[in-house]
């Protein structure tokens, strides 16, 4: 049992482990859990041996105070990083892969159809990340946008990166047209062109 803070709310939760997630400590709110029998601690939770510098039972002093790392994930990555930094530890938050996981592109060719290197594959671990990160069963929807009476074009503008289309695709296409001695295109023309391409795909 322990206290958990999530989305600004504090509640008591039961912590447990699962064979499906061997490296993850799971928890659920106490009101949703019925403990029939507590399992043996040596099976479900790793008990770290006492540190030789701080023997078990020794009273904390100024020399050994704060040697333990006090941290429990809150679900908020930014808050977790601040907590770790506050305890004097470094955080590698640049999201870059480890050097040994970066393939050598000069010697290993990519597969033309998939774009993957040898040994790589697309996969899914069977876990819905959206359901894992929220404790509420919310239907899918849009934020501050009601699809009730919208047209197909309005749906396209809502779901497609319009700013990228304007600043990148339209501008670069216009530059290529000018270089060929032709008139530049516009955002409207590009949308009509994409509509024709999508229509052809549906009727091919």
Given a contact cutoff of 8 angstroms between Cβ atoms, the answer to whether 158 and 145 are in contact is yes
Unique residue bearing structure tokens 């032709």: 182
CA nearest neighbour of 192 among 167, 161, 170, 168? 170
Q: What pLDDT, on a 0 to 100 scale, did the predictor assign at position 66?
A: 47
Q: What pLDDT, on a 0 to 100 scale, did the predictor assign at position 81?
A: 80
Q: What pLDDT, on a 0 to 100 scale, did the predictor assign at position 64?
A: 43
Q: What pLDDT, on a 0 to 100 scale, did the predictor assign at position 122?
A: 78
0.75 exceeded by pTM:
no
Q: What pLDDT, on a 0 to 100 scale, did the predictor assign at position 124?
A: 76
Given a contact cutoff of 8 angstroms between Cβ atoms, the answer to whether 74 and 80 are in contact is yes
Concatenated DSSP letters of 52-110? SSS-TTPPP-TTTTT-S------S-HHHHHHHHHHTT-----S-PPPGGGS--TTTSPP
Q: Could you tell me the mean pLDDT of each successive run of 10 residues in the chain, 204 residues long? A: 75 77 78 72 56 45 50 77 78 72 71 78 76 73 82 85 90 93 93 87 75
């Amino acid at each position: 049992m322990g206290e958990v803070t999530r989305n600004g709310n504090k509640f008591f939760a039961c912590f447990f482990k699962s064979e499906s997630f061997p490296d993850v400590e799971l928890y659920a709110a106490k009101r949703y859990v019925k403990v029939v029998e507590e399992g043996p601690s040596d099976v479900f939770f790793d008990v770290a041996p006492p540190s030789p510098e701080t023997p078990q039972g020794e009273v904390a002093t100024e020399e050994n105070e704060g040697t333990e790392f006090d941290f429990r994930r809150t679900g908020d990555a930014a808050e977790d990083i601040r907590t770790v930094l506050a305890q004097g530890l470094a955080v590698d938050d640049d999201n870059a892969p480890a050097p040994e996981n970066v393939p050598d592109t000069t010697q290993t060719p990519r597969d033309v159809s998939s774009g993957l290197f040898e040994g790589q594959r697309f996969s899914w671990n069977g876990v819905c990340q959206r359901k894992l990160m929220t404790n509420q069963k919310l239907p899918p929807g849009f934020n501050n946008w009601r699809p009730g009476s919208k047209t197909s074009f309005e749906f396209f503008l809502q779901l497609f990166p319009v700013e990228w289309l304007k600043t990148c695709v339209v501008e670069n296409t216009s530059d290529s047209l000018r270089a060929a001695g032709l008139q530049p295109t516009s955002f409207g023309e590009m949308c009509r062109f994409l509509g024709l391409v999508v229509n052809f795909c549906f009727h091919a």
